[in-house]
Amino acid sequence: MLKHSFRFIVIALVTLTAWRLGLAVWQFDRIGDSSSFLQVMLGGLRIDLSIIAMISAIPLLLAPWLGHRPLCANLTAWWYRFWWVLLLFMELATPQFIAEYDARPHRLFFEYLVNPKEVSAMLFEGYKLAVSSVLGVLLVAVWGVKRLLPTQPDKPLRWWKRPVYSVAALLLCFLAARGTLDHRPINPALVAFSDDNLVNSLALNSFYSTAYAAYQLKHESNASEQYGDMPDQEVISLVRNAAGVSASSADPGQPSYHFQQAAFHPDRPLNLVIIVEESLGAQYVGALAGEGLTPELDKLATQGWLFSQAYATGTRSIRGLEALTTGFFPTPARAVLKLPRAQHGFFTLASYLGSQGYHSRFVYGGESHFDNMKGFFLGNGFDEVHDLPDFTDPAFVGSWGASDEDMFNELHRLLSQDTSPTLTVAFSVSNHSPWEYPEGRIQPVGEPACVENAIRYADWALGQFFAKAKASSYWQNTLFLVVADHDSRVYGASAVPVEHFRIPALILGPGVQPRLDDRLVSQVDLPPTLLSLMGISGSHPMLGQDLNVRSPNRALMQYGNTFGYRQGDQMLALRPGEQPEQFQVTSAGLLPLAVQQPLLDQALAHALWPSLAYRHDWYSTAGMTN
């Protein structure tokens, strides 16, 4: 067992170090210089030794006593074979994950595993070469690991050497696993040195980064364990004041509930349709000085209220749906759609409008069990969910579901049948890797299966829908919001890649004056704004602001475990285990500044508020009035 352990330690270290070296060379432009390169490699060595020590500890402790027994030697060999193949697999999966998410594997890696049908279809349709390469290397590794780690037993040790070896193994494994003599054991913050999240993640290994993300789930309801403490009453006061909510209206049991007076009074109830466009960053939208891939959306932009500085709250679809349907602030935890305490009685636009006599539905081209969308929506005020199994003869079904034109056809059919006020949230799927869409709708440019062509198709489908909507009976009494959930790929060599959080947000409908609005706003400001345009007054817990009457001049952005709070051209970044950082947002990137206490207080309060609200049930429907 001692021989097995020593062999495994050497083989695992060589494997992890060689892979990190390759990744660091690949990303050297992001690392910047040889000093930082060395920090990545040395920090990675500490992390690798920590993981290897934890894997090897039990065999090393028992080896002096049992290593000469064939059965124990055989079990130890298979133990180490399993771990080496697992470590290798995680490293093999890393380059493609970095290409998609600009970081080593983290929580998304195992969250996607609960949806094997959609994920396997996406992988085998869009990433055949990567998948086949990984599988091929793994097959060779499984064949070769028997030779690298054979099953021969050790020679028996003399009795007095056994406790000496065990004590030495215990001490060395403890020190290596802990990774430091400081108060806290090694963690990602101890090897982090850069503002670039990718560079910091290179100093980890991919098994460690994924396991650490799983470990952090137990802290997900309490952001103070990641960002620092602040008295609850100070948090409440700061976020209420920032939202313009008077202290006199505070209810200790529901501290964010307040009365919102509508700025408009339509002569009849308006339907509300929220169209959530998958992965449509502002960088692609011509009306927002982007690449010009969205001529249909650009035409619509001249007919409605377009926000040029609207920012997503996160980098995943359920984060965008969270903001747009509940107005809830982002957290380092999973979005509320997947949190257990939010599955019933959690405030949503559907529950609020339901109290006003509205019928609510969610329309999605895929299968709505993905990310627990169906469970959350049906548990919190939505009356219906229409997804792929409900579609009749869809024209095209890809890895993620029916095409956008099929989703819009279903949406148009449902709206045409309505006889009472409705809320409809419609979520597209076509602009998602592997970028599948029906032929004959657009003229592809270059490789057909690419994000640019998927956006062209999604825009075409959007234009087709609005052409039918304008000729329909529901057009004159329906308010539309067209908004993205997030950008297609959020990445960058900064604490928070601000430019990749900017998204299109366009409101069209009765009484909406066409204009370009350059104010800094967040996704969480859109639900209160829509209620005001609909003429609906009442009490709710949303701390986003009605853009008809207020100018928030701030945005909230959750980038992995980093919380970004932007106020004007100032950005405050909070990261677990690290000191807060302040930046000036410029066209050239983020410029470091000295941290100002007032901005730090605002950022920390907004980062802590949603965890408090979730933990204390402050966002329940109990306080709603109309």
pLDDT confidence of residue 219: 58
Residue 220: the pLDDT is 59
Q: Distance of alpha carbon 559 from its chain centroid, rounded?
A: 7
Q: Is 225 part of a structural domain of the chain?
A: no
Residue among 44, 90, 112, 82 nearest 207 (CA): 90
Terminal Cα-to-Cα distance of the chain (whole angstroms): 71
Residues 497, 560: contact at Cβ < 8 Å? Answer: no
Q: How far is CA 577 from CA 186, 228, 580, in A?
A: 11, 9, 9
DSSP letters of 546-598? -TTT----EEEEEETTEEEEEETTEEEEE-TTS--EEEEEETTEEEEEPPPHH
| Residue indicated by tokens 């339907």 | 271
Q: Are residues 22 and 66 in the same domain?
A: yes
- pLDDT at residue 397, rounded to an integer: 96
In 3D, which of 61, 66, 76 has the Cα closest to residue 170?
61
485 is in an annotated binding site: yes
Boundary (domain end) residue, out of 219, 249, 273? 219
CB-based contact 538:525 (threshold 8 Å): no
Greatest alpha-carbon span in the chain: 94
Q: Are 429 and 485 in contact, with CB atoms under 8 Å apart?
A: no
CA 136 – CA 305 distance, rounded (Å):
52
Q: Coil, strand or helix: which one is 425? A: strand
**Chosen domain end from 170, 191, 219:** 219
- The verdict on 213 and 238 lying in the same domain is no
Q: What is the pLDDT of residue 493?
A: 76
- State the Cα torsion 458-359-348-247 to the nearest 10°: 120
Q: Are 209 and 239 members of one domain?
A: no
Pairing of strands 570-574, 581-586: antiparallel
pLDDT single digits (tens) 395-436: 999 999 999 999 999 999 999 999 999 999 999 999 999 999
Report the pLDDT averaged over residues 476-492: 93
Q: Are residues 295 and 155 in the same domain?
A: no
Residue 541 burial class via C-beta count within 10 angstroms: exposed 0-12, middle 13-18, buried 19 and up: buried
Q: For residue 4, give the H/E element and its range.
A: helix 2-26
Element (H, E) at 296: helix 295-301
Written as six digits, the tokens of 47 are 């992390």
In a domain, 130, yes or no: yes
Count CB atoms within 10 A of the CB of residue 182.
9
Phi-psi region of 440 (alpha: psi -120 to 50; beta: other; left: phi over 0): left
Indicate if 278 and 395 belong to the same structural domain.
Answer: yes
Q: Is 432 annotated as a binding residue?
A: yes
Query: Does residue 278 lie within any of the structural domains?
Result: yes
Taking the CB of residue 355, how many other CB atoms lie within 10 A of it?
14
In sequence order, the β-bridge partners of residue 234 are none
d(CA 587, CA 571): 13
142 within a domain of the structure (yes/no):
yes
Of 373, 371, 349, the C-alpha closest to 360 is 349
Kind and range of the H or E element at 233? helix 232-242
Strands (E) across 240-350 are located at: 258-260, 271-277, 305-311
278 is in an annotated binding site: yes
- Per-residue pLDDT of 141-200, as tens digits, reads 989 988 888 888 878 878 888 888 899 999 999 999 999 887 778 988 889 888 788 999
pLDDT value at 12 more than 90: yes
Question: Is 486 annotated as belonging to a binding site?
Answer: yes
* Count of all residues that appear for the chain in the document: 626
Which residue type does 67 have?
A: G
Question: Would the pLDDT of 582 be above 60?
Answer: yes
Q: What angle do CA 251, 257, 261 make, to 5 degrees?
A: 120
pLDDT the model gives residue 577 = 85
Distance (Å, whole) CA 458 – CA 451: 10
For the chain, what is the domain count? 2
Please check whether residues 192 and 310 belong to one and the same domain. no
Same domain, 318 and 188: no
304/371 same-domain check: yes
Between 454 and 187, the more confident residue is: 454
pLDDT range class, residue 294, cuts 50, 70, 90: very high
Inside any domain, residue 324:
yes
Q: How do residues 502-533 score in pLDDT, each as one tens digit?
A: 999 999 999 899 999 999 999 999 999 999 99
Q: Which amino acid is at 228?
A: G
pLDDT in tens, 68-102: 888 889 999 999 999 999 999 999 999 999 988 88
Residue 326 in domain: yes
Residues 543 and 598 in one domain: yes
Residue 254 and residue 142 share a domain: no
According to the model, what pLDDT value does residue 159 have? 83
Tokens 């470091």 sit on residue = 592
279 vs 110, residue with greater confidence: 279
Same domain, 178 and 273: no
Which among 30-39, 105-114, 239-248, 478-487 has the top mean pLDDT?
A: 478-487
226 lies in a domain?
Answer: no
Max mean pLDDT range (226-230, 340-344, 577-581, 596-600)? 596-600
Q: What is the mean pLDDT of the chain?
A: 93
Question: Among 166, 193, 219, where does a domain finish?
Answer: 219
| pLDDT value for 249 | 65
Over its C-alpha atoms, the chain yields an Rg (Å, rounded) of 27
Look at residue 162 in the predicted model and tell me its pLDDT: 83
Read off the DSSP letter of residue 329.
P
Helix or strand run (H / E) with residue 64:
helix 34-66
Beta carbons within 10 angstroms of residue 277's beta carbon: 28
587-624 residue pLDDT tens:
989 999 999 999 999 999 999 999 999 999 999 998 78
CA distance 499 to 488: 12
Domain residue limits at 318: 232-623
Point out the residues that are catalytic.
317
Provide the pairing of β-strand 570-574 with 271-277.
Answer: unpaired
- Give the tens place of pLDDT for each residue, 219-275: 555 789 889 999 999 999 999 999 999 776 667 789 999 999 999 999 999 999 999
Q: Is 224 part of any domain? A: no
- Give residues with Cβ within 8 angstroms of 41, minimum separation 6: 17, 20, 21, 24
CATH number of the domain where residue 361 is located: 3.40.720.10
Q: Are residues 155 and 253 in the same domain?
A: no
Lookup: tokens for 615: 């933990």
Give the contacts of 451 (CB within 8 A, at least 6 positions apart): 279, 431, 433, 435, 488, 489
Q: Are 306 and 286 in contact (CB under 8 A)?
A: no
